[in-house]
Every structure is written in C-alpha cells, then in structure tokens.
C-alpha cells in the first residue's frame, strides 16, 4: 500500500513527518529517520485500524501571501 508522507522542518531541528491518511505524526533528526519512524508508526496504526485507500494519492502545493491575516481564535 502506498501512502503519503509530508515532511516539514522542526523548529528545534530535524523533521516532522505526517501521514494525512492515518493522521499519524512523528519526527526524526534526518529525513531518512523521520520517514522510517513514520513508516513504523503507520504500520502500528494499521494493525488496529485497517485503511481503505481509494485511487491514487494526489499531492500538490499552493502559494499564499506571507502577509495573509492570521485566523481568528
């Protein structure tokens, strides 16, 4: 099963890795470590909660203005 992984730099260094399909998040000091940790976390999640993936995953990016107003609390 192929799932998506979204990696972002962590403020304290390293990377945060997120799988949107399972809402699983973890981290690692390197991209490789973050992906390995995410793979392990997703596999553990799927042991208890099987996932049905429908079709191919589509991933895109958007560009927003840096001065966009903050969301209301």
Q: Give residue-wise pLDDT tens across range 21-71.
A: 999 999 999 999 999 999 999 999 999 998 887 777 788 888 988 876 666
pLDDT at 14 over 90: yes
For residues 34-63, one letter each, b for 16 or more C-beta atoms within 10 angstroms of the residue's C-beta and e for the rest, the string is bbebbbebbeebeeeeeeeeeeeeeeeeee
Q: What letter would DSSP give residue 22?
A: T
Q: What is the pTM of this model?
A: 0.78
DSSP H or E segment with residue 24: strand 24-28
* pLDDT for the residue 10: 97
* pLDDT for the residue 6: 96
The candidate with the shortest Cα–Cα distance to 33, out of 46, 47, 17, is: 17
**What does the block give as tokens for 6?**
């979204």
């Amino acid at each position: 099963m192929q799932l998506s992984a979204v990696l972002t730099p962590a403020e304290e260094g390293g990377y945060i890795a997120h799988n949107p399909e399972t809402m699983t998040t973890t981290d690692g000091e390197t991209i490789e470590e973050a992906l390995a940790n995410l793979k392990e976390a997703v596999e553990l999640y799927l042991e208890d909660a099987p996932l049905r993936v429908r079709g191919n995953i589509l991933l895109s990016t958007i560009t927003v203005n840096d001065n966009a107003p903050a969301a209301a609390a």
